[in-house]
Amino acid sequence: MVHHNDSLREACKEFEEDLVLYYYGECGAAERGRVEKHLERCASCQQFLADLQRLLPLTIKPDEPPQLFWQSYSKEMQRKLAPREQKGPWWRNLAALLRPWPVSALATALVLILALTLTFGKRVWRTQDLPPEEEGVMEILPMAENLEFFKAMDLLDSLELLEAGAGLENGSA
Amino acid sequence: MTTSRPAEFGDEKLVTLAQKGQSEAFEVLVERYKQKAYRIAFDFTRDREEAKDLSQEAFLRAFTHLKGFDLRAGFYTWFYRILVNLCLDYRRRRGRIAWEPFDEKTHMDGGQSEMAGAISSPDREAMSGEISRRVGEALQALSAKQRTAFILKNHQGLSIHEIAKMMQSAEGTVKTHIHRAVTTLRQRLAELV
């Protein structure tokens, strides 16, 4: 029996989507009642539903592979999963190193060591580097450098005075 | 004292064990869902080897990203989203999929077998092939989302709610996709049989 497209009867537009849902059993109770009541008196919608029941199963092409296929499938999956699992222990070792509490404990310890080193280390190093008699020399040296500086400043002051004096003479002349 | 076997564990427990590195737990999930995964992939690819490769690739991706998986979502739904996305990518890459003629041994249900029995074998094969070709062309005429929603509903029997979660769409949108797919298929296939 052949149906021609030109005689294809359209369902009522306001019921068409509901008929599709009704076919798939997706209607709520209220919608189901409404659709069934409408179907009792509408030949177009009855034909529409009959077409769905006739045609939609044709779109399914089932495939049932043999048991051997599934055995091979499982073995292939085990083989493909194996390289990803072997990476696991290496990851786990790395993850163990990066676990939160040892990291924070280690970081805290490092900060403390650094703080203690900076606080006490400079004095310890300096006293260790210089013998006591030379320590006095080290304290005097900066003073000597400052003295030279102040002498230079005095000279500069003198130069300024000389320049100022020269300027006055030129102005009066 | 009884000890449970992994095959008896629920999905959540298996995922938790697999997240801790026990791949045997994930293999149980593979065994549990491989046939469903294969059938979905086959609906999209119409090719046994491609369906096998796609479904296996979906399992591998799930295993790789298992640590980031939120158990509240449900492994089944999460995995099928991965699989469906892979299938959609496959279709975009491949373009038109050649529709293979029906194998009459796998195609017929009871009613159609009775009908087919009244027709000679060569004619039956020719008719099946023609139906198969027309169905393939009709499915190709659908948009990707219409085809996805239709296959998940019509072939896999998933609920609108499940399809909406997988496609990350509203249920109303899924209903619209299915409605348009069905009316298009009806128009294109009405002259068959």
DSSP B76-108: HHHHHHHHHHHHHHHHHHH-SPP-PPP-HHHH-
Average pLDDT over residues A69-82: 93
Q: What are phi and psi of B103, to 5 degrees?
A: -95, 115
CA–CA gap between residue B83 and residue A165 (Å, rounded): 97
3-class SS shares of chain B: helix, strand, coil, % to 5 = 75, 0, 25
First to last CA, chain A: 134
The pLDDT of residue B99: 46
**Cβ–Cβ of A84/B27 closer than 8 Å?**
no
Average pLDDT, chain A: 75
Look-up: residue for tokens 């003073």?
A: A143
In the predicted model, is pLDDT for residue A82 greater than 80?
A: yes
DSSP-assigned letter for residue B71: G
The pLDDT of residue A126: 55
Which value does ipTM take for this structure?
A: 0.71
In Å, what is the CA distance from A31 to each residue of A15, A51, A152, B51, B158? 10, 20, 105, 38, 20
CA–CA gap between residue B140 and residue A13 (Å, rounded): 25
Instruction: Tell me the residues of A at the B interface, defined by beta carbons under 8 Å apart.
Output: 1-5, 8, 16-17, 20-21, 23-24, 26, 48, 51-52, 54-65, 69-70, 73-74, 76-78, 80-82, 84-85, 88, 92
Question: Min CA distance, A17 vs chain B (Å)?
Answer: 6
CA–CA gap between residue A52 and residue A39 (Å, rounded): 14
The pLDDT of residue B139: 86
